[in-house]
Amino acid sequence: MPTSKLDSIDRMILAELQADGRMTNVELARRVGISAPPCLRRVRALEEHGFIRGYHAEVDPRALGFEVQVFAMVGLVSQAEADLSAFEERCRNWPLVRECHMLNGEVDFILKCAAPDLSTFQSFLTEELTAADNVASVKTSLVIRGAKDEPGVPFEVLEERLRRKA
C-alpha cells in the first residue's frame, strides 16, 4: 500500500487516530463517514502496511518528575556506516535518550534526552555519552520551555498539496 494508494478516507483515518488514538472504531467510522466494519478493515490494513506503527499515551514528563530536557549535538570521530549503526544501537539502549536523529552538516546526531534532574543528566553525559566509543564531541542545550510539541505529520499540508495536483 504505497502512499499514492492511500485515498482520502485512509488519510482521514490516519489524521483522526494521530489526534486521538484511543477513540473507538465506531467513533472513528462516524468521524470519517463510513460504517464500522470497513473502517476496522482499513485500520488493520494501515497497521499491516506500516502507516500506523503503534499507539501510545502522551504523558507529562514534568508531572512524572522528569524536570530536565536536553538536546545533545554529537560529533563522531568516524562516520563509517558500521560506526554510525553502532552509535544508533547504543542510543537505543540508553533510557535517557528519547529521540536520536542522524543529521547532515556539522553535527552527526542530535539526541533528545529527558532526566529527572540535572545531576542525573550530568552523570549520563560524563559517564556514558562522552565516554562512548567514537564520540568526538558533545554540545548540549538545556530546554527552558517548549512552545510546540506536535506528534506525527501535518495532514493538512498533504491534503492541500493533493488538492493543488488535482
Q: What is the pLDDT of residues 74-91, one digit of tens each?
A: 999 999 999 999 999 999
Q: Does the structure show a pLDDT above 60 at 49?
A: yes
Q: Does the structure show a pLDDT above 60 at 125?
A: yes
Over the Cα atoms of the chain, what is R_g?
20
Q: Rounded to the nearest 5°, which phi and psi values hold at 76?
A: -105, 160
Domain ranges of the chain: 3-57, 68-142
Alpha carbon 166 to chain centroid, angstroms: 31
106-110's contacts with Cβ under 8 Å and 24+ in sequence apart are 106/75, 107/73, 107/74, 107/75, 107/139, 108/74, 108/75, 108/76, 108/79, 108/84, 109/73, 109/74, 109/76, 110/71, 110/72, 110/73, 110/74
- Cα separation, 68 vs 62, in Å, equals 8
- Enter the CATH code of domain 68-142: 3.30.70.920
pLDDT classification of 27: cutoffs 50, 70, 90: very high
Asked whether the beta carbons of 95 and 52 are under 8 A apart, the reply is no
Q: Does the structure show a pLDDT above 50 at 1?
A: no
CATH 3.10.20.740 fits domain 3-57: no
Q: Does the structure show a pLDDT above 70 at 41?
A: yes
* Residue 165 confidence (pLDDT): 86
